[in-house]
Structure 1
């Protein structure tokens, strides 16, 4: 049985907004569908409203919490449950591969709005240890994740995320589902890592360089934004029009450009 612990006062510097809507929590748990014996990594467990049902389903949970007060009180909030390991620290400094051991991790979390993109890129670097990911994010971030070429939401995050993962928007979460309510709508997204070949992994540094430089000046055409990396003849050799803006290019076209730089 859980001990009584005072509700935590959300800290603005950590971007804390605690999910309190039980219907949303139940819907999220159904989407994750945790099973006995699975290992889950929960990023930012907060007061444990998601941790509790994940444990109840028989999964083992490693909870990484930056806030020292929340980390130290989580086990008491949940009644000192078995199969819960609490790590007080920054997920950006956490070795996810070491946490996984010999079993792929399923990663879940209500990610802070202010550092959600860095967390995603950190996890992309550890996908060999990850089975799937379910995140609550600012809807604007999810719109960028799943954006198709040609829209204003399409950018570096869209291209790189689509290289690493298959992604599905699941459902929106209104501000009133949180304490305190954020000023934005949130949403749930599922990401499943792709099985990348050795050849695809070898082109990754070049792809990252091309995409980063192209979207660093997204209003310019490729012949201008990629200056110093690729000239117009090289862009044409990749089968891409140098007069095109980066938001028009598919992942495959960016990969062709990356191969041209090698």
Structure 2
């Protein structure tokens, strides 16, 4: 079924469609996710059902968000309709909070082979509903995954690293090559696991402020912190938080950036 439709379907470039086709990679992903019958799952972008079909055979219910009408029609004809609920929708426009809060006390597991052209935007959007999420598993372009997991004092460490690592514990599950997809992308990929770090804070407000502070800090990576963040914090304040004013933005840890945001909120600096 899958291979037959794979040959017929013409991937839509503007939707970033690169379908996972390597059965070994698919099996390993499902094995590493450790899916249980009672899990509440949401898939972002089903594609041709490489993950949708086997996962629908494990869980009681699966929710799928897919933007491509043809793929929605294909899946609706070829999977268990009583198990899988498919929404024809752009994942970036879906109201996750409105949908998830209907399931009082239930934490969802979200997964998908994300289109490279929306992966970062989607990740920043889904962070805002962390209180409803048990864990997440996503395929990213390797370069983006490297930035997400990058550590301080490295070239790839930046705003995306800081924001994601503040809200999640992140683990590499596996790497996938260009050959594992159809059509073949120009880059390799990495499958990551995200476990939310629950904090009793206004997530949306904190995300905005963390984004603001890191935007100023990384506007010029070569500037030392006392100069780039001087409009918000004086040298004495930085030292009181254990931050060397002579360090550059890539030398400051996630915890130290979070302390700066805590201070902004505490003293109402903005």
Residue pair 2:128, 2:204 contacting (<8 A) in 1 also: no
Give the C-alpha shift of residue 191 in structure 1. Answer: 0.4
CA contact (8 A) 2:238 2:245 kept: yes
TM-fit CA distance, 1:203: 5.2
Q: 1:6-54 CA deviation, whole Å, 9 max, x = no partner?
A: 7321111011100011111111111112211221110010111110011
Which secondary structure state, in structure 1, belongs to the residue aligned with residue 92 of structure 2? helix
The verdict on how the C-alpha distance between 1:59 and 1:214 changes in structure 2, with shifts beyond 3 A counting, is farther
TM-score with structure 2 setting the length: 0.88
Structure 1 counterpart of 2:129: 126
By how many angstroms is 1:143 displaced?
A: 1.1
Residues 74 and 216 of structure 1: is their aligned pair in 2 closer, same or farther, counting only changes over 3 Å?
A: farther
State which drifts further: 13-22 or 137-146: 137-146
Verify the 8 A CA contact 1:96 1:129 in the aligned structure 2: no
TM-score normalised by structure 1 residue count: 0.91
> How many residues were matched structurally?
260
1:238 maps to 241
Gaps of at least 5 residues in structure 2 are: none
Residue aligning to 2:89: 89
Gaps of 5+ in 1: none
1:199, CA displacement in angstroms?
A: 8.3
For residues 201 and 146 of structure 1, the distance between their equivalents in structure 2, rounded to whole angstroms, comes to 22
Q: Which moved more, 1:167-176 or 1:52-61?
A: 52-61
2:201 & 2:77 partners in 1: Cα distance?
A: 45
Q: Which residue in 2 is equivalent to 1:52?
A: 53
- Contact 1:36/1:59 (<8 A) preserved: yes
Equivalent residues of 1:92, 1:122 under 8 A apart? yes
The one of 213, 217, 240 equivalent to 1:214 is 217
Alignment of 1:1-262 (within 5 A): 7-78=8-79, 80-100=80-100, 101-102=103-104, 103-198=106-201, 205-261=208-264, 262=267
Bigger mean CA deviation after superposition, 235-244 or 39-48:
235-244
Secondary structure in structure 2 of the residue aligned to 1:58? coil
For 1:165 and 1:158, the matched residues in 2 are separated by: 10
